[in-house]
Amino acid sequence: MTVNHLEILKDQGAGFFLVKNTCSGRYVRLGRAETGYLLDCLQKGNMKSQLNAEGELPEDSRQILDEKFHQWGFLDANAAPEHIRKHLDLTRIKLIEFNVEKFTKRICPIYSKFFSRQSLAVFFCICLGCAGIAIYSILNAAFGDPAAVAMPSLTLSLTDIVITVLLLLVSMAAHELAHAAVCVKYGGQVKSMGLLLFFLIPCFYCDVTDIYRIKDRKHRQRVALAGVYVNAFLGAAFLLAAFLFTLFGTVILPLYYFAVSSLAVSVYNLIPLVKLDGYWYLSASLDVTNLMDKGVLMAYTTFFHRKELSTLSTSAGKRRLLALYGIAAFLFKPLFWGYNLYEICTRLPLGDNLRWLAGCIGLAIVLADFFQTLMHDAQLIHRDYRRLIQML
């Protein structure tokens, strides 16, 4: 159902709806009574019976929703986008953004071949080939003639560095396009891609917000892991090529560096405690939207409102998992910041004074982000606790 600039969809959870602001592309999950109140605010109360969105809300809940509807741009299509008004997210600083809607529709048939059974069989054979050659090389080094085992130079020439960097850029772009192609394959739309600083590390990104429209949990899982799979496929394929060249006496270092880097990126993206692919896969697997926020709320409920746990429809095991996740994600974020800042300070060719300056600036950024996280969680508990906890 379309109401003004909003699209209202039935969610996979009973009694819930997904409301999409078609101007900003943002999705928000609302309960039946909340959706009915939104229709009243839009002066479309006659549509409530079509959605079975009946129900009364207390006055304090209506006041909170009035603020939220305005914040989300639900009441006015011409309202300023939310991302302009809110505080800067230091973990995700967008640098470049461009529309790729037409492009993703063209590449979707090509990428579909990557996710076929034949492609999986090829990937499995490549992995077996890499494992076989690696075992052969280890045994040959251990039991063969030591004089016949020559250690190649590991120094990269300028040409090698350029080739490796270009291959990595192609790999990262292929990673994001894989998310886009799989999202389009299962009925979503992808309108933007670009470049951002993720915890100050430059990387590509792809807006697959339409994943919320995909009702099948397995399909959402595939969207989340599509980029990881493509990186692993490319890494394994280039590693096999590097092994084969080495067996015939030619060592091509860019192949090795690219292969190892692609495989490392795959593992890195599986971290679930920050919003990487592993986070979205876990969110899809648990069938919990806003996983990080709801993990914090569940941890808060577990420690301070234990009596309310029995009123939730979520199983005890899932409640414990969400609470543990909320605590782990809260503690992991500063550590992740520290690791990235350490890598930046040690990798860049900086003098001691500049390195100290970069470290101080980095510490200030970490403290500022930690303060923002505390303020966000406090506001979440104060303003959205009742609304979000009822969705669990």
For residues 88-97, give the mean pLDDT: 85
Judging by beta carbons within 10 Å of its beta carbon (0-12, 13-18, 19+), is residue 288 exposed, middle or buried?
A: buried
Residue 331 CB neighbour total at 10 angstroms: 10
For 372-381, the pLDDT digits (tens) are 899 888 888 8
Q: Which residue has the higher pLDDT, 51 or 207?
A: 207
Q: Report which residue type is found at 319.
A: R
Which of 55-64, 251-260, 291-300, 354-363 is least confident? 55-64
C-alpha dihedral, 91 to 96 to 97 to 103, nearest 10°:
-120
Judging by beta carbons within 10 Å of its beta carbon (0-12, 13-18, 19+), is residue 62 exposed, middle or buried?
A: middle
Residue 255 CB neighbour total at 10 angstroms: 23
The residues, ordered by sequence, that sit 6+ positions from 253 with a Cβ below 8 Å of its Cβ are 152, 154, 156, 160, 164
R_g of the chain, CA atoms, integer Å: 25
Which percentage of the chain shows pLDDT scores above 70? 88
Taking the C-alpha atoms of residue 261 and residue 27, their distance in angstroms, rounded to an integer, is 34
The residues, ordered by sequence, that sit 6+ positions from 266 with a Cβ below 8 Å of its Cβ are 228, 231, 232, 235
Question: Residue 105: its pLDDT value, please?
Answer: 78
Taking the C-alpha atoms of residue 337 and residue 200, their distance in angstroms, rounded to an integer, is 9
For residues 65-88, give the mean pLDDT: 66
Any bridge partners for residue 16, and if so which? 31
CA-wise closest residue to 374 among 264, 296, 316:
296
Asked if pLDDT for residue 210 goes beyond 70, the answer is yes
Q: Which residue has the higher pLDDT, 118 or 12?
A: 118
Taking the C-alpha atoms of residue 6 and residue 84, their distance in angstroms, rounded to an integer, is 20
Which of 13-17, 208-212, 241-245, 253-257 is least confident? 13-17
DSSP code for 322: H
Q: Cα 202 vs. chain centroid, distance in angstroms?
A: 15
Residue 146 CB neighbour total at 10 angstroms: 8
- 3-state SS, residue 109: helix
Asked if pLDDT for residue 332 goes beyond 90, the answer is yes
